[in-house]
Structure formats: structure tokens, C-alpha cells
Structure 1
Amino acid sequence: MTAPATDPQAPSWERDGVRLEIDGELAVVTLCQPKRRNAQSPALWRALAQAGRELPGSVRVVLLRAEGVSFSAGLDRAMFTPEGIPGEPTFLQLAGSADKELDEAIASYQEAFTWWRRADLVSIAVVQGHAVGAGFQLALGCDLRVVADDVQFAMKETSLGLVPDLAGTKPLVELVGYARALEICATGRWVGAEEAVATGLANLAVSGAELDSAARDLAAALLAAPRGAVIETKALLQGACGRSYDEQRSAERVAQARRLRELAGIGD
């Protein structure tokens, strides 16, 4: 059904827990360490960031999915131990590093979570089972979320004395509002499928058996619209919260002028 990416590093991505497949205008990124419930590590984050850099320009929609019973159980627990993960800095080493070095390390981790909202793509997180901490934030990194009816989101960082720092706080507030976002993060409680849909955290909830087909149906509907129109519409919606009503109307006029001229074949 899909053709694997031709990048020679692809096998190493799979060893780090990520598989990338390309099918024309659709890309599928899969977390593929189901026995570990797709626990996350810096190596996995580097693989996710690399997958984003290697997407061909023809790709319009990206599905982010995971094998096994859980989307992602969050950080690899070894990161919380004094020994850490071989080849990676431990939390204690990070805490003892200089401000600039610590900031750069966290920024490098965030790269895995930020490219999903690129202007030229629409990304869909396909989420089943547990999506905890870093797993929750990875799902939040996407534009849209389709979830199974057994989904359980939780932001556990605050309960561990940390904060969510993988680019998840802004989309969470935008989706559910400040008060509910604060309550979810500060309590670390579970959010199920029904609440996720009701609050706007998820676009759609279906049975586990229907999850992949529902996500692919949504991808097909997105691909049916002209690419230029989707890109312009996404940009308008992404910028809407930062503009006044009149500024948004102006942005709509400018975007529509570009669309009309492109459809008419009139260049700049």
C-alpha cells in the first residue's frame, strides 16, 4: 500500500522507534516500539525531527500513528534514573549544565514536536490507548486528532515536579481554554475520548477497529481540496487569534486575491 522512504537512514530510524512511509501526497509516520508502549527518548525525538526534514515536497497530509495498545506512554523511565540512557545526558547532567547548553538541549528535543504544523502540511494524530506526557504533547503537535474510544490523555509532568516543555502548552490552551488546560496539567488527571471530543481536544472518536480507516478517510477528504486553498485557509486560521477582527478581514481579502489570481492564471 505504501512505499518506504528511500533515505538510507530509514533503517536506523526504525531502530530508534520511528518508521516513515510515503504514498504520493500522503506520508505516514509510525511509532514502532509497541513492546515498550512507544516510550520516548532523545533518539526517538531525533528520528521524528529527521523524518520531518526528509519529507518530499509532494506530501500534503501526514498521519502520525503508533503500533500496539498505546500511542505513547511518555518518557522512557530510564531518563529519570541516575544512570539515564546510554549515550544521552541524564536529567542530573542537564540540570547542572550552563543556561545556554540547557536551553539548546531542550530546544533540540522540541524539534520533534514542532514541524507537524508546517504551513504546507496538514497533520493528523491517530491516537489509541495511553498518550501520556510527551505522548500527549506529540498528539497536540498535530493539526488534528482522531482517537479511539479507549484513548487516555494525561499530562503528568507537573506531578513529577516538571512542566510540559515539548511545545504542548500553547495548542492545549488554544484547544480547551486556559482554565481547563491548567486543571488538566496541574492535576495530571486522565482525559478520555468523550471529554476529548466535547472539549475540542479531539476531532473524532471511533472504535479501535475503525481508527485507521477513519483517519485515512479524513486524510482523503483533505487531499480532495486544492492544495493552495488548504494552505491559505490554514494560514488564516492559525493567525486568527493574534489578529483583531478588522485585521483578520484584511488577511482574508489578501489571501482571496492570491487565490483568485492563481485560479485565473494571473501571475504577480
Structure 2
Amino acid sequence: MTAPATDPQTPSGEQDGVRLEIDGELAVVTLCQPKRRNAQSPAMWRALAAAGRELPGTVRVVLLRAEGVSFSAGLDRAMFTAEGIPGEPNFLQLAAAEDKDLDDTIASYQEAFTWWRRPDLISVAAVQGHAVGAGFQLALGCDLRVVADDVQFAMKETSLGLVPDLAGTKPLTDLVGYARALEICVTGRWVGAEESVAIGLANLAVPGAELDAAARDLAAALLAAPRGAAIETKALLQGASGRSFEEQRSAERVAQARRLRDLAGIGD
């Protein structure tokens, strides 16, 4: 997928199929190549990574959404061809690279998928239609997911002889458990809206016409909580699976002490 031609009507926050809009404490990141079903390319990944770096410190909640009938149809299939995407390595070139170069390249791709869980932010993905492969993993990168009733998640990498490598395996396993994550990835089957809510993959499913409103309502509810309390709570929950019960109790006490002193205006 080549970069779009420069257009004077294009918003300054739009680049390579990604638009970033800031509204006070809320940032909205939109995949905006609906005619291509928001197929992903390295250029789009660089734009997504840049959006994360460009967020002002005032932003507390990030909403990820997509234009068109599909959230993202996954990787641009041109990456699989000998011609590839102009200016980008195709899969054959990636395979022939030295180990460090290949590792560095994949790590650079992963940057687009990892910043959404930063400790100072809460991210919400609004997902409609197909969210396939890289699209599924991008939705998994967010803290929370609201889905339309027509959503279809699928992890197709394994059926193509690959593995999911865009930071999606950890959140998927955390959300649905090892056995179901393994089954979803290896079979490559579709997971619809009702099942995604039932297994904990999505927080809420709504009619497609209500998706944007429902996601924005959730963002507003998240913003209603005091920032310091939200950050501390997110940190407690993110670390809970790696702590014992007693360690988690201790972490709660330490976090609460910080909150009490902050609210009382008592410094460290």
C-alpha cells in the first residue's frame, strides 16, 4: 500500500491511513482507508506508532476506531507478493535478512500495537465488521473493546504458515485463557459479537449504528474518574496476574497510601 498523495484538504493529523484528533483529555485515532477495508502496511504501522508518540500529556483516554464496513482486513496482501509494497521489504526479503535485522524490523512493526496499554492512558477500541490478523491484534492492543453486532474477529496467521507476532498473543491469552486462545489462533475461525462478549474478548456489543456513540459514552465514563485514581487502579489490575494474593494486597496498600497522601496534599 503506497502512501496517499498530499492533499491540501487532508487534515494535518492524517497520515498513511491514520487520523489523529485531540479533544482535551480524549484522543481519537481513526483508521481511514475504508475502500481498502483499512488493510495494514508498514507505513500505517509507522503512522500508528507516531500517533502514540505525539499524544500530549493531557490525554487520558484514547479511542481507536475505523471508517467503513470493516475495522481492518489485516495485512496488505501485497506484502506476500514478489513485487511487494514500494519502499517496503516483502516477506521473502524479510526472511533473507540477518537475524538481528529481522528482529529489529518486527520490533519496529510491533510499536504500533504496544503503546495503547501505557500506564498513563486507558484505550478503547470500537470494532465493526472484519478484524482479521493484524486488525484483530490491533484491537487486542487496547485495554477495552466495544464491538458492533456484525463484528468478526479471526487470527489467520497460523493458517498462512506464520504466527501472530504483533503483540496480540499475550492479551488474547489473558482475556480468554490459554486453551481458547490456542484454538482461536490455530483454527483461524471467526469469533462473532455474542461469543466475543461471552468469553471476555469484548466488553460490550451494540448494534452497528450505535457503535461510535457507545464507545464515546464509555470514554466519557472513564474520563469521569480522577486521573490519579484511574492510573493507580490500572497499574494494580495490570500487575495482578503476576503477583501472589499477598503481594497484591501489599501493592494495594502502597497504592492507597499514595492516593491518600495525594488527596491530602502531603508530599513524599
TM range (shorter): over 0.9
Q: Which amino acid aligns with 1:237?
A: L
User: Match of 2:225?
Assistant: 225
Q: CA RMSD in A?
A: 1.0
Equivalent residue runs for 1:114-133 within 5 Å? 114-133=114-133
Q: Which amino acid aligns with 1:245?
A: F
Q: Give unmatched runs, 5+ long, in structure 1.
A: 1-9
Q: Which amino acid aligns with 1:41?
A: S
User: Match of 2:161?
Assistant: 161
SS in 2 for 1:65: strand
User: Match of 1:179?
Assistant: 179
Q: CA deviation at 1:60?
A: 0.3
Q: CA deviation at 1:126?
A: 0.3
SS in 2 for 1:72: coil
Decide whether the 8 Å contact of 1:152 with 1:191 is kept in 2.
yes
TM-score by length of structure 2 reads 0.95
Equivalent residue runs for 1:108-257 within 5 Å? 108-257=108-257
% identical aligned pairs: 88
Q: Distance in 2 between matches of 1:41 and 1:241?
A: 33
Q: Distance in 2 between matches of 1:48 and 1:12?
A: 15
Q: CA deviation at 1:13?
A: 6.3
SS in 2 for 1:146: strand
Q: Distance in 2 between matches of 1:73 and 1:141?
A: 16
Equivalent residue runs for 1:84-95 within 5 Å? 84-95=84-95
User: Match of 2:99?
Assistant: 99
Q: Distance in 1 between matches of 2:184 and 2:23?
A: 37
Decide whether the 8 Å contact of 1:13 with 1:47 is kept in 2.
no
Decide whether the 8 Å contact of 2:138 with 2:168 is kept in 1.
yes
SS in 1 for 2:153: strand
Q: Which amino acid aligns with 1:18?
A: V
SS in 1 for 2:14: helix
Alignment: residue pair count: 259
Q: CA deviation at 1:15?
A: 4.2
Q: CA deviation at 1:14?
A: 2.9
Q: Distance in 1 between matches of 2:24 and 2:62?
A: 11
Q: CA deviation at 1:185?
A: 0.2
